[in-house]
Amino acid sequence: MSVNLRKLEYSPTVNPLIEPQAIKVQRRYVRTRSSHDLLDPKTGEISGVATIHIVEERDDAEFVKVFADGVKAAFGLTLTGSRVFQAVLDVYQNTAMRGGYAESVELFWFDGKLDGRALDMSEKTFQRGLKELLEKGFLYPRAPSSYWVNPALFFKGDRVAFVKEYVRRRSDDDREQREAVQVDHEEA
């Protein structure tokens, strides 16, 4: 769509941008929305939120990589933890589903390979990454070499949304006032 500045349609009484918008930008959609309906359950304060939602299409390989990179960033995985997560995610993708997801994975390390696939890492390095995934709640031991998976972090769906919320830092006076309101709510 090309805008002609000499032939603009004006809206002198109503701002049409108040309504949610969806704009196609190359291989993605960008949606915007503004609201005042986010309630802080601790203080009862209602906050205004501006939302910019970007939807991008990716092929299968790109999708799995974007998903793994997003999880890595969200959970602060080390390089080793991230590499092992990617390897376990690959095993998970080939695991049969029950009830909409695969509830566990079998991780067989043999002859320097995970389930027959070379990872270019030692068994000790794999174990360090596996330990990190266990500590951060990605996996839980089910039996030797079998692990329950966290279904929020391992899935075979076709969509993922990473939500990052930015909150404006408040002054010390605002913080003290919010804490006083919180105490009042707890006492009531």
Question: Is 74 a residue whose pLDDT tops 90?
Answer: no
Task: Dump pLDDT digits (tens) for 103-158.
Answer: 888 898 888 888 888 888 999 999 999 999 999 998 999 888 889 988 878 777 77
d(CA 78, CA 164): 20
pLDDT of residue 80: 94
Residue 36: pLDDT band with limits 50, 70, 90: low
Full domain range(s) for residue 128: 60-149
Instruction: Report yes or no on 75 lying in a domain.
Output: yes
* pLDDT over 70 (residue 56): yes
Same domain, 89 and 111: yes
pLDDT score of 78 more than 90: yes
Q: Averaged over 13-35, what is the pLDDT?
A: 63
Q: How far is CA 47 from CA 35, 38, 39, in A?
A: 8, 5, 6
H helix or E strand, kind and range, residue 123: helix 123-135
Residue 101: strand pairing partners: 98
* Contact yes or no for 155/138 (Cβ under 8 A): no
91-104: per-residue pLDDT in tens?
888 888 776 667 88
Cα–Cα distance measured from residue 22 to residue 51, given in angstroms and rounded to the nearest whole number: 12
Residue 177 lies in a domain: no
Query: What pLDDT is stored for residue 10 in this prediction?
Result: 74
Count: domains in the chain: 2
CATH of the domain at 99: 1.10.10
**What does the mean pLDDT of the chain come to?**
78
Query: Is pLDDT above 70 for 40?
Result: no
**42-61: average pLDDT:** 74
CA distance 112 to 164: 38
User: Considering 39, 57, 75, which residue would you say is the last residue of a domain?
Assistant: 57
| Sign, CA torsion 86/87/91/92 | negative
